[in-house]
Chain A
Amino acid sequence: MSPDTQSTTIPRHVRHGSNAGQPVSRRDGVLKVTGAATYAADNHPEGMLHAVIVPSTIARGRVRSLDVSAAKAHPGIVEVITPENRIPLHFDPNDKMPPFGFRVEVLQDDSVRYVNQPIAVVVAETLEAATEGARLLAPRYEEELPRTDLDNGERYDAEAVGVGAPAVTTAGDIDAGFAAATRVTEAEYYTPPQYHNAMEPHAVVAEWNGDHLTLDMPNQALRMSAASYAQYFGIPVENVLIRSPFLGGGFGSKAILNGPQILGILAARQVGRPVKLVLTRAQMYGPVGHRGRTWQKLRLGTDAEGKLTALHHTSIGATSSFDDFVEPAANTSLMLYASPAIRADHKGLRLDIGTPGPMRAPGEASGSAALEVAIDEAAQACGMDPLAFRLANYAETEPTSGRPYSSKALRECYEQGAASFGWSNRPLEPGTMRDENGFLVGWGMGTAVFPCPQFPAEARATLRADGTALVETGGVDMGQGAWTALAQLAAEALGLDLDQVEFHSGRSDLPDGGVAGGSGHTASAGQALSNAGSDVIAQLSEIAVNDPDSPLFGAGNIGVVAGEGRLYRRDDETRSETYAEILARAGRAELVGSGKSGRDPASADRFAMNSHGAVFAEVKVDPALMQVKVTRLVGAFAAGRVINPKLVRSQYYGGMIWGISFALQEEALADRRTGRIMNADLAEYHVPVNADVPEMEAILVPEVDPHVSPLGIKGVGEIGVTGTVGAIANAVWHATGIRVRKYPIRLEDLLARR
């Protein structure tokens, strides 16, 4: 069930206000707290079978044999799909499908390129049978020595990093910059492989009806995915319907096509019945992306006043043996600090692993985890307070281009965050604060930054005879609150109360809502919805001001204002009438408007555009046992216009919590000999639990941005991770005097030096 289903049996959502800018509670709240919100795997079409992936347990080699007869002997097994019998696809999975296609493993041959690659699919009447059938296949392999680390992987010059970003960027003369420095600080940093681990495992329920395909699946890019599946299966795109009303978290891992979901669809085609395929938690460590590990080096030159003269950031990023996604970590250094010379360069490292992909703040998370510590180290070397050092190197214009920022309230973020945290009481020297229980106390900070892209998106708005509206876009709610924030924007444009707007989203047969990624969905789909609403109001105004029977007649040059379901004469608000009245007299059953997202291309060229923030962290460290606990986190963020402060605050909290685990917990540990991840679960791959999370504060720093888009919205989904990691690492140093440059910071890293 999705929120557009107007239920009369449950009370309406809790409201504090209405429309844009108000902290409205989630419109989908009742569905989510009653268990009525349907996620992909909750669907169960008539005649459905269960499909289970058989994952490889080697990282490199080929599958020599599968005991298909043993599996088939198990009661309830319907089909065992292997490279030998799988039906053909209409697109070569070893090719990359534009625009963001990744190469996928869909049983095209018997080769194995990473651990947990699907090597067979078992389809059965029950989940229990399919699961056991998969085990009974007992694969045997021809195993080759896998490349699993920096010393045995193949280093190469990446053509591009991330999603098409340059691998090398230089601004100014870096050698001259270092020559001019009175001090150079240099250090290496390591960030480990991390896995998205959305709570909802990747799933698909696929149902074929002739050449028509219906998919229930969590998906961050509905129309793009529908087009891709159409190509894979050789059917027209209009024959593919993806329903994705709710995603149980995405974080980037549900934005890109992956092998298992394609195999689920294929299995349904092959057996001629609907099929549900859900990954196990362990199977999510491989075929559905991860944050690739990085080995970074930062070199900072500073002058006698503590101003940067040169900033050189290099990063080696691990990727797979067969695809190209490299974490664009070093590019973070292009965004933040003023320096006459900056250079960012990347190399790729080929390992026998699943291809990494975008994971919440790809590039900026890993990059700022290193950069923000390097900045702290440089401040320390200069004998400066870390905030003072950052202010001394504040970039008034984009460091690499000199372009002005479309808006940048980072200074205000520093001020407000520092004031709330009490930063001015921080002693410069580390290891000098204790609490009343004797724990070491440390305070650290980091700067947060994330770009604010605008993606193509479309929307439709229909004003109905009764004066209510239907608005539609194929938007995506993976927890950020699209069901609510997008509806607020549409309601605002339509001059209607939120409850007068029926919002349809989460389906690929609606106008293209674009991609939910890059923190740009609200800005993009919201702009499209807003423009669609404005289009309807313009049409309605046209009718009213030209209708002699309307109180608005003749207001053409003066104009009308829409609000509360009425149009008002701008110069005389006593003259107004309802939308329903205007439509009724015009004999119109409805008015349909459309809108697209978009940023003024001239603004896009003229201005640098980012969201910014400052995060302040307090940690306590047991002076003997060296266990670390984050005890306070204050983040102040400026990200343009805020549509729903309640939801925005939740995004910041979530990002900051990701920062806690990046700094202190998350690391997939692969066995060097086999490439198998030995903590591919949620018990030993640690993500934060409730007890890890302190009282947090997220300050929403006002920022008006007339250039980023007509609505002035930037984006909030990812930035919270970026400053927090460094802030915590710096706080650990401040508490202990120990600089750990390898994430996560572990007990033994601190213990060994104390």
Chain B
Amino acid sequence: MNRFDYIKPASVSEAVTEAARPGSAYLAAGTNMLDLMKVGVVGPERIIDVTGLPGLADIEWLTDGSVRIGALVRNSDLAYDTRFAETFPMVAEALLSGASAQLRNAATVGGNLMQRTRCAYFLDPASACNKREPGSGCDAREGENRLHAVIGFTEHCIAVHPSDFCVPLVALGAEVEVESLDGKRTIPLAEFHLLPGDTPHVETALRPGELITGLKLPAQAAAFSGHARYLKLRERTSYAFAVVSAAAALDMADGRIRQARIALGGVAAKPWRAEEAEASLVGAEASPSVFARAGEIALAGAHPSGSNAFKIELARRIVARALALALEGTPEAMPALPASPFSTLSGETSGVAHVA
């Protein structure tokens, strides 16, 4: 890790003032940032530790029914907040499917939004990576890329965004509150993360020095609370990033779908909201075939970026499955294995039936 100056501001205004100086970077819990510093992917000269900033660690329910989550709220505190988890169950499920209990106890809402890709070439300073070093190339394209993007990538970058949290958030229309010396503004989460284009190093809509202060979920998002699931395929049962994941939420009325929300994780450089697939469900009677079709539509523009064609089919199927699970209804209790396809397995050995 390179040497740096450590600054611990006492207020947001002090923080954004400090951050305006070149070479500065914000540090929250550090669960991603410190790791990147250790492996030499980033090397800020000035660390602005925002963990002590007042007023950013609250979950506030506003009178219009929306909720404002401070940027420093810890992942576990949000997931285990009873009202939050009841109102936005798939967000809680996504949070609890990510990382480990220890990391969730540390990681913050703002930090999760700023999580960097797990692309091994990005994380390896000896490899060419346009995201890490603009213009150096992309070694992932001809490399170990079975888990890379199938949507929205370019020849410059095929990395995926690793967050679970952001997937249901983007489906529910979350907004990001930011602040800088120039004042405050709000960015829709759907526009917060950027596709690589020819500038994969520009990953978010944040301007230099801007600090995430909070996240808002609109009141309308609560309409899905009864039919919402997050589903995540992993290569081990827990403590693993998604191969692909999906958030699916339905607003049901008289057996018909009034509105639907679908987003995918692990497929693109941003949490991928599938609005056309959502639209295909509106007014439909829920059935396996309409869910399968929604999966097809969600992945309509997908193609392999390497040896990862299987992810496209998997993503189609996981959309259909997540919708089917959402239709069954949000479970009364958080599953023992949040977001796992095996979340319906109990801890005990279940019975086996012979069908043939």
Where the two chains meet, the residues of A that have a C-beta atom closer than 8 Å to any C-beta of B are: 57, 74, 128, 131-132, 135, 427, 429, 431-437, 439, 441, 618, 620, 622, 624-627, 629, 631-632, 664-665, 669-674, 676, 678-679, 683-684, 686, 688-692, 694-695, 746-748, 751-752
B318 to chain A, nearest CB (A): 6
User: Number of residues in B with C-beta < 8 Å to the partner?
Assistant: 45
B234 to chain A, nearest CB (A): 8
**Distance of A688 Cα from B238 Cα, bound (Å):** 9
A674 to chain B, nearest CB (A): 8
Other-chain residue from B127, B237, B241 in contact with A676 (beta carbon distance below 8 A) = B127
Q: Is B1 an interface residue (CB 8 A)?
A: yes
**Distance of A627 Cα from B318 Cα, bound (Å):** 11
List B contacts of A683 (CB < 8 A): 118, 240-241
Contact between chains at A436 and B350 (CB < 8 Å): yes
**Distance of A711 Cα from B295 Cα, bound (Å):** 64
Chain B, Cβ-Cβ closest to A626: B314
List A contacts of B310 (CB < 8 A): 747-748, 751-752
Contact between chains at A671 and B143 (CB < 8 Å): yes
Contact between chains at A748 and B146 (CB < 8 Å): yes
Contact between chains at A132 and B126 (CB < 8 Å): no
Contact between chains at A676 and B352 (CB < 8 Å): no
Contact between chains at B355 and A629 (CB < 8 Å): no
B101 to chain A, nearest CB (A): 11
Other-chain residue from A671, A686, A692, A751 in contact with B314 (beta carbon distance below 8 A) = A751
CB contact under 8 A between A427 and B356, given known A132-B2, A671-B144, A747-B243: yes
List A contacts of B237 (CB < 8 A): 629, 689, 691-692
Contact between chains at B321 and A433 (CB < 8 Å): no
Chain A, Cβ-Cβ closest to B236: A686
- Interface segment out of the listed B213-221, B222-230, B340-348: B340-348
The dominant DSSP class at the A interface is loop
List B contacts of A626 (CB < 8 A): 314
Chain B, Cβ-Cβ closest to A669: B144
Contact between chains at A435 and B353 (CB < 8 Å): yes
Q: Is B191 an interface residue (CB 8 A)?
A: no
Contact between chains at A627 and B341 (CB < 8 Å): yes
List B contacts of A676 (CB < 8 A): 124, 126-127
Contact between chains at A684 and B143 (CB < 8 Å): no
Q: Which of B1, B121, B237, B321 lies at the interface centre, i.e. has the most chain A CB atoms within 10 A of its CB?
A: B237
CB contact under 8 A between A135 and B342, given known A427-B356, A671-B143, A747-B314: no
Chain A, Cβ-Cβ closest to B347: A695
Contact between chains at B342 and A627 (CB < 8 Å): yes
Contact between chains at A684 and B321 (CB < 8 Å): no
Q: Is B239 an interface residue (CB 8 A)?
A: yes
Contact between chains at A629 and B345 (CB < 8 Å): yes
Q: Is B276 an interface residue (CB 8 A)?
A: no
Other-chain residue from B233, B236, B342 in contact with A620 (beta carbon distance below 8 A) = B342
Contact between chains at B353 and A686 (CB < 8 Å): no
B311 to chain A, nearest CB (A): 8
Show 23 residue pairs from A and B whose CB-CB distance is below 8 angstroms, ordered by the A residue: A132-B1, A427-B354, A431-B356, A432-B354, A434-B352, A435-B353, A439-B345, A620-B342, A620-B345, A625-B233, A625-B314, A625-B318, A629-B345, A631-B349, A671-B127, A671-B143, A673-B139, A676-B127, A678-B121, A679-B120, A683-B241, A690-B238, A751-B313
**Distance of A670 Cα from B144 Cα, bound (Å):** 8
Where the two chains meet, the residues of B that have a C-beta atom closer than 8 Å to any C-beta of A are: 1-3, 40, 118, 120-121, 124, 126-127, 139, 142-144, 146, 233-241, 243, 310, 313-314, 317-318, 320-321, 337, 341-342, 344-345, 349-356
The dominant DSSP class at the B interface is loop
Contact between chains at A624 and B317 (CB < 8 Å): yes
List A contacts of B341 (CB < 8 A): 622, 625, 627
B47 to chain A, nearest CB (A): 14
Contact between chains at A128 and B1 (CB < 8 Å): yes
List A contacts of B313 (CB < 8 A): 751
A120 to chain B, nearest CB (A): 15
**Distance of A135 Cα from B42 Cα, bound (Å):** 13
List B contacts of A625 (CB < 8 A): 233, 314, 317-318, 321, 341
**Distance of A432 Cα from B355 Cα, bound (Å):** 6
Contact between chains at A622 and B143 (CB < 8 Å): no
Q: Which of A131, A669, A672, A678 lies at the interface centre, i.e. has the most chain B CB atoms within 10 A of its CB?
A: A678
Other-chain residue from B1, B236, B321, B349 in contact with A692 (beta carbon distance below 8 A) = B236
Known interface pairs A128-B1, A625-B317, A692-B238; 10 further A-B residue pairs with C-beta atoms within 8 A, sorted by A's residue number: A432-B355, A437-B350, A622-B342, A627-B342, A629-B345, A678-B143, A689-B238, A695-B349, A746-B235, A751-B313
**Distance of A691 Cα from B338 Cα, bound (Å):** 11
Chain A, Cβ-Cβ closest to B349: A632
Chain B, Cβ-Cβ closest to A686: B236
Closest 7 A-B residue pairs measured CB to CB? Answer: A432-B356, A748-B310, A678-B120, A57-B126, A691-B237, A691-B238, A622-B341
**Distance of A131 Cα from B3 Cα, bound (Å):** 11
**Distance of A664 Cα from B345 Cα, bound (Å):** 19
List B contacts of A439 (CB < 8 A): 342, 345
B34 to chain A, nearest CB (A): 12
**Distance of A620 Cα from B342 Cα, bound (Å):** 9
List B contacts of A436 (CB < 8 A): 350-351, 353
**Distance of A434 Cα from B314 Cα, bound (Å):** 21
Other-chain residue from A57, A74, A747 in contact with B233 (beta carbon distance below 8 A) = A747
Contact between chains at B345 and A135 (CB < 8 Å): no
List B contacts of A431 (CB < 8 A): 356
Contact between chains at B351 and A435 (CB < 8 Å): yes
List B contacts of A670 (CB < 8 A): 144
B211 to chain A, nearest CB (A): 27
List A contacts of B321 (CB < 8 A): 624-625
**Distance of A128 Cα from B37 Cα, bound (Å):** 12
CB contact under 8 A between A434 and B353, given known A132-B1, A622-B342, A678-B121: yes
B327 to chain A, nearest CB (A): 15
Contact between chains at A441 and B317 (CB < 8 Å): no
List A contacts of B317 (CB < 8 A): 624-625
Contact between chains at A433 and B337 (CB < 8 Å): no
Chain A, Cβ-Cβ closest to B355: A434
Chain B, Cβ-Cβ closest to A440: B355
**Distance of A131 Cα from B344 Cα, bound (Å):** 46
List A contacts of B233 (CB < 8 A): 625, 627, 747
**Distance of A747 Cα from B341 Cα, bound (Å):** 13
**Distance of A131 Cα from B124 Cα, bound (Å):** 16
